[in-house]
Amino acid sequence: MDYLDERAALAVSRRRLLKAAAVGAGALATPVLAQALADLRLPGGPSRRPLASGFPGKGEMIVQRVRPPLLETPFSVFDRDVFTPADQFFVRWHWADMPTSIDVESFRLTVRGAVRQPISISLAQLLHMPRVEIAAVNQCSGNSRGLFQPRVPGAQWAHGAMGNARWLGVSLRHVLDLAGVRGDAVAVRFGGLDQPLVAGAPDFEKSLVIEHARDGEVMLAFAMNGEQLPMLNGFPLRLVVPGWYSTYWVKMLNDIEVLAAPDDRYWMEKAYKIPTTPGANVVPGAKGFPTVPIGAMVPRSWVTSLGEGQEIAFEPSIPLGGIAMGGDHGVARVDVSSDGGHSWRPATLGPDHGKYSFRRWDARVPLARPGRIRLMARCTSTAGVTQPMAPVWNPSGFMRANVEVTTILATR
């Protein structure tokens, strides 16, 4: 047993060394140290993360993990536009073995399994197919996990594991119909080019039930915000599942398998599961509760025009702005409070880019007196769901969606 363990350890580290050598051979420039630090203000810490712009295709990002990259969008980015620039769009990979080079001529997407005719599609063929474009928020299931109390293991994100983009591509239904889905199909599984570092470990794959996969909205995107995807966001193709958490938005998508039985592999059966309770909420420490795979997102909103801890000159009334999302429905309204949630007033909603997009909101709020002020925004979706005041808790740190508080200091 020990001998085998040692051999496995050696195999892993040898592979790792080879990879490191391959990276070195790229010889782009002299390595430098990241210098600036971001403070994520996570309860109990650690809260400081490097800010760096050295990742391929990426501007300044909060570095949660270098390998495989976990990069968070600095929160100030969300105040600039409801669409998140691709070069500051968050990045999240599970396994470090991913291609560092993709040739658009030889890349193929396969559609196989419970279909009449397995097919292999080139990118040139895909570009000839009818297109769909949709504005949609892509949010990690564990966005804001670092704010859970008590804290839970996993990527310790603040609120920046999300972004909104215009996704351009081809409807998944169109591609499935080309292969011809058989009558016994129940689900569709998606795999990308990333792979586990050790043999036998679970490859990252996700699936959707067949009705969802064929709803005409789920799509294979080859562009975001009008440009091809950055490699770290899934070039050349990624699945877009509007209204659903990012775990389903498989990157570097190259394999679509139609299943005649439910997906029982690790990433559907064991990981990314939530309690069946409303809001996925359980008592901290609870175990043995029933779970289901995570699915649709829920409404959220944030103040973006002022940052946590910011100092402003006192005025009897101040402008306030931010963003909201309705989850798998549109944003019906946003209400704001400047007195810790005692009184609320409606915000004015900005342009509507579709129900899956971020929506800008703006308002003016009164300030009672100088001092510490607790600002809040609260979104209600077109499905009539309003953000709760109290945070949820579950052991994986999924689906945080309560009203967030931004505390500022108004001085005279």
Partner 1 sequence: MAGRTQGFAPLAAGLIGIAAFVLIVVGPPGSRKPAPPPPVSAGPPPSSVSANGFTLTSATMDLPADDATYPDGPNADLVNARCSACHSPSMVLTQPAFPAEKWQEIVLKMRDVYHAPIAEQDIAPITQYLAARPVAD
Interface residues for partner 1 in 37-56 (CB under 8 A)?
37, 42, 44-50, 52-56
| Positions in 107-126 near partner 1 (CB under 8 A) | 122-124
276 interface partner picked from ligand HEC, partner 1, none, CB below 5 to 8 A per type: none
Least distance between partner 1 and beta carbon 1 (Å): 7
Beta pairing partners, 207: 189
Check binding of 15 to ligand HEC (CB under 6 A). Answer: no
Least distance between partner 1 and beta carbon 104 (Å): 5
Stretch that binds ligand HEC, among 28-36, 181-189, 193-201, 321-329 (CB under 6 A): 193-201
Check binding of 26 to partner 1 (CB under 8 A). Answer: yes
Rounded CA separation 380/385 (Å): 5
Least distance between partner 1 and beta carbon 231 (Å): 5
Count the residues of the shown chain that bind partner 1, applying the rule CB under 8 A: 81
Three-state SS string over 351-409 comes to CCCCCCCCEEEEEEEECCCCEEEEEEEEEEECCCCECCCCCCCCCCCCCCCCCCEEEEE
Q: Figure out which of the listed residues 65, 212, 265, 374 binds partner 1, where binding follows CB under 8 A.
A: 65
156 CB-side CA count, 13 A: 20
Check binding of 232 to partner 1 (CB under 8 A). Answer: yes
Q: Figure out which of the listed residues 50, 54, 59, 154 binds ligand HEC, where binding follows CB under 6 A.
A: 154
User: Exposed, middle or buried, 21 (CB in 10 Å: 0-12/13-18/19+)?
Assistant: exposed
Per-residue string for binding with partner 1, 234-263, x by CB under 8 A?
-xx---------------------------
Return the structure tokens found at 264. 């029982």
The residue among 213 and 221 lying less far from partner 1, judged by its C-beta, is 221
189 CB-side CA count, 13 A: 19
Check binding of 391 to ligand HEC (CB under 6 A). Answer: no
Specify whether the CB–CB gap between 333 and 346 falls below 8 A: yes
Check binding of 198 to ligand HEC (CB under 6 A). Answer: yes
Nearest to 169 by CA among 279, 68, 253: 253
98 φ/ψ angles, rounded to the nearest 5 degrees? -135, 150
Rounded CA separation 235/278 (Å): 36
Residue with tokens 């979104």: 379
Rounded CA separation 151/148 (Å): 5
Q: Figure out which of the listed residues 31, 130, 153, 183 binds ligand HEC, where binding follows CB under 6 A.
A: 153
Least distance between partner 1 and beta carbon 96 (Å): 6
Check binding of 326 to partner 1 (CB under 8 A). Answer: no
DSSP, residue by residue, 199-212: TTSPP-EEEEEHHH
| Positions in 77-116 near ligand HEC (CB under 6 A) | 94-95
The residue among 282 and 365 lying less far from partner 1, judged by its C-beta, is 282
Residue with tokens 């599970």: 94
| Positions in 123-152 near partner 1 (CB under 8 A) | 123-124, 127-128, 131, 151
Stretch that binds partner 1, among 9-17, 133-141, 158-166, 384-392 (CB under 8 A): 9-17
Amino acid at residue number 401: A
Check binding of 290 to ligand HEC (CB under 6 A). Answer: no
Specify whether the CB–CB gap between 168 and 226 falls below 8 A: yes
Residues in contact with ligand HEC by CB under 6 A are 94-95, 153-154, 197-198, 201
